[in-house]
Structure formats: structure tokens, C-alpha cells
């Protein structure tokens, strides 16, 4: 009888472990997670933004750019609070990650290779990009949902997705004349335009605008950006044109000789983003999206009001 009881206890324990196990399919196979991870290392260039938005401070994050404390931008500073994560610079260092003793490694939007995944997954459950998605092609919904699932906070993640999608829906409803207008997001310094496969192109589509058809005609399915020749700016000659920059956009724009021939310039439909707004669109986490919408709403309203004399501002 005692042996039967012990076997029953063991079976129940095993059943409980299997019941609590969470499984995520991704481009390199399957990741299995038990319990609720507490030491999360984010190798994703933008993953810490999603973690902080869900109320989780990583023990380490990967620096992308900017001079904010720990590589965190203003919209996520309050969520960071007093946390002091380690900052990982440059390429993925498997040994350095191991020393952090993580119980979850986030590697979406990181450029992780299959070899790196194989090594990292021996340290802790590791999440590379979803199946069928390029290195930097995961949507903000996918990022939020997968992170929430991995951390056993699915409900919180879904609520955040619903709230963010509702914000987009509200703006589409309040500005029906935006629907179907064309838009382009372009780095002023290099005249590099983003496609709808990129999070910046997806942002405009979430508002009901159409990402520059001329840009889309230049690329394949999962290419995120294209270089525009200064001798032919027609692919970015859209109804509204958003110039992105990490520095002084206006001096960069002065070097684009054909800019003054574009309808976005002539009709007062240009928006020149400062570095904070540029970075918010480049991170596109729910925290960053709300910040970007707060900043962009009045700018888009001015740019698409039909009056070239309206000052769009920055």
C-alpha cells in the first residue's frame, strides 16, 4: 500500500509539472518553460521595453542606442523605477549571459543565430523570433503575447494588447479622412525608407494609412527598408512624410535637393521627428506606442488637415 501511495504522489507531481509547463513554438524549434521566470535577460534590442511595460524589470538588457540610464528611453523610465539591470553591449556573449544566471532569455528582435540559440538554450529557456518571421519582423502584438506567455502573465499581456489596439481604433474612428492616405517613414540622414514588414511601417498601417506603395514595389516580402536615391525621391512622395533622425534632421534635409519638388513639402505634409519620437517608433512596444501616439496625433492632424499653411511643428 505504501508503495502505491508513493507512486500515486509521484504521478500527481509529474502531472502537475506537465500541467504548469508552457510551450512556445518558434523558428528554431520549441521552448518549454516551467514555473514563473524571475531572472530575465533580454538580448532583444527592444525587449526590455516590453518587459517594463508588463511590470517586469530584467536583470540584464541589451543596449541599442541613446544616452538614457541603462539604455532606457523616457517613456519607460517610470516603469524601470529603482531597478539597475546589467547592460549588455555589442554582440551576444554566451558566457556573459551564463554568469547572469537567467531563468529566461528573450531573443526576439536580437539577430540570434541557430548556433547561439542552441548554446543559450542550455543555460535557460530561450525565445528567438516566431516561426515565419524575420530577425526583426515580429509585430508588437507577437512580442507582447509571447513574453506574457513565457512569464505566465498572459492576462496582463492581452489586456495591454487590447488597450493599445483600442487606442489605434479610436484614432481611426476620430480621423476617418486619414484612411487610405499614403505615408512613408524615412531616415533623413540616409534617405532610407521603411517597408510594411518593419514596425515603423506597421505603425502607420495601424492608423489606417497605406505604407508608401512606391517603397513596397522596391522590395521582397521580408525586407525592412530600402535606400532611396536622392536623384529619384518619387517612392517617398506620399500624402504624409515622416522624417526620422538621431540628430539634426533639418540640416540633413537641406542636402536633399529634390525635397522641395515633393507634394509632402509643397502641401505642408511633412513631419520631422525629434530623436525621442524616432526612438519611440523604432521600439514600438506598447509603452513606446502610447508615447508616439501622444506626440504624433497633433502632428498628423496638422499635416493632413488639407491646409498647406498649417504649421506642423515637431
Q: What is the mean pLDDT of residues 11-18?
A: 40
pLDDT score at 312: 76
Q: What is the mean pLDDT of residues 284-307?
A: 94
> What pLDDT, in 10s, does the model give residues 46-88?
999 999 999 999 999 999 999 999 999 999 999 999 999 999 9
Out of 12-16, 106-110, 275-279, 285-289, pick the least confident.
12-16
pLDDT score at 219: 84
> What pLDDT, in 10s, does the model give residues 130-170?
998 889 999 999 999 999 999 999 999 999 999 999 999 99
- The model's confidence at residue 257, banded by pLDDT at 50, 70 and 90, is very high
**pLDDT of 10 strictly over 90:** no
Out of 7-21, 83-97, 262-276, pick the least confident.
7-21
- The model's confidence at residue 17, banded by pLDDT at 50, 70 and 90, is very low
The CA distance from 140 to 142, in Å, is 5
The CA distance from 170 to 203, in Å, is 14
pLDDT score at 9: 38
Question: Going from the N-terminus, what domains does the chain have, and what CATH number goes with each?
Answer: 16-160 (3.40.50.1980), 176-303 (3.40.50.1980)
Out of 210-214, 235-239, 272-276, 302-306, pick the least confident.
302-306
pLDDT score at 14: 42
**pLDDT of 300 strictly over 80:** yes
Amino acid at each position: 500500500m505504501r508503495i502505491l501511495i508513493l507512486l500515486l504522489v509521484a504521478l500527481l507531481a509529474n502531472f502537475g509539472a506537465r500541467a504548469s509547463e508552457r510551450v512556445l513554438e518558434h523558428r528554431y524549434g520549441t521552448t518549454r518553460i516551467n514555473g514563473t521566470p524571475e531572472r530575465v535577460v533580454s538580448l532583444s534590442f527592444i525587449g526590455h521595453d516590453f518587459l517594463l511595460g508588463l511590470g517586469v524589470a530584467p536583470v540584464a538588457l541589451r543596449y541599442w542606442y541613446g544616452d538614457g540610464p541603462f539604455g532606457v528611453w523616457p517613456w519607460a523610465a517610470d516603469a524601470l523605477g529603482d531597478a539597475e539591470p546589467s547592460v549588455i553591449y555589442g554582440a551576444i556573449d554566451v558566457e556573459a549571459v551564463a554568469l547572469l544566471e537567467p531563468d529566461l532569455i528573450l531573443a526576439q528582435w536580437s539577430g540570434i543565430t541557430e548556433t547561439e540559440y542552441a548554446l543559450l538554450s542550455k543555460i535557460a529557456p530561450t525565445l528567438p523570433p516566431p516561426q515565419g518571421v524575420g530577425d526583426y519582423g515580429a509585430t508588437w502584438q507577437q512580442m507582447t503575447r509571447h513574453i506574457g506567455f513565457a512569464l505566465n502573465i498572459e492576462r496582463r499581456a492581452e489586456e495591454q494588447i487590447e488597450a493599445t489596439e483600442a487606442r489605434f481604433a479610436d484614432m481611426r474612428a476620430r480621423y476617418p479622412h486619414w484612411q487610405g492616405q499614403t505615408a512613408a517613414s524615412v531616415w533623413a540622414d540616409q534617405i532610407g525608407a521603411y517597408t510594411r514588414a518593419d514596425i515603423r511601417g506597421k505603425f502607420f498601417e495601424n492608423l489606417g494609412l497605406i505604407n508608401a506603395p512606391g517603397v513596397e514595389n522596391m522590395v521582397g516580402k521580408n525586407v525592412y527598408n530600402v535606400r532611396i536615391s536622392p536623384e529619384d525621391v518619387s517612392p517617398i512622395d506620399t500624402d504624409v512624410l515622416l522624417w526620422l533622425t538621431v540628430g539634426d534632421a533639418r540640416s540633413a534635409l537641406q542636402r536633399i535637393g529634390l525635397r522641395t519638388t515633393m507634394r509632402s513639402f509643397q502641401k505642408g505634409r511633412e513631419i520631422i521627428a525629434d530623436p525621442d519620437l524616432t526612438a519611440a517608433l523604432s521600439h514600438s512596444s506598447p509603452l513606446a506606442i502610447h508615447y508616439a501616439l501622444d506626440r504624433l496625433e497633433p502632428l498628423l492632424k496638422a499635416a493632413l488637415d488639407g491646409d498647406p499653411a498649417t504649421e506642423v511643428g515637431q
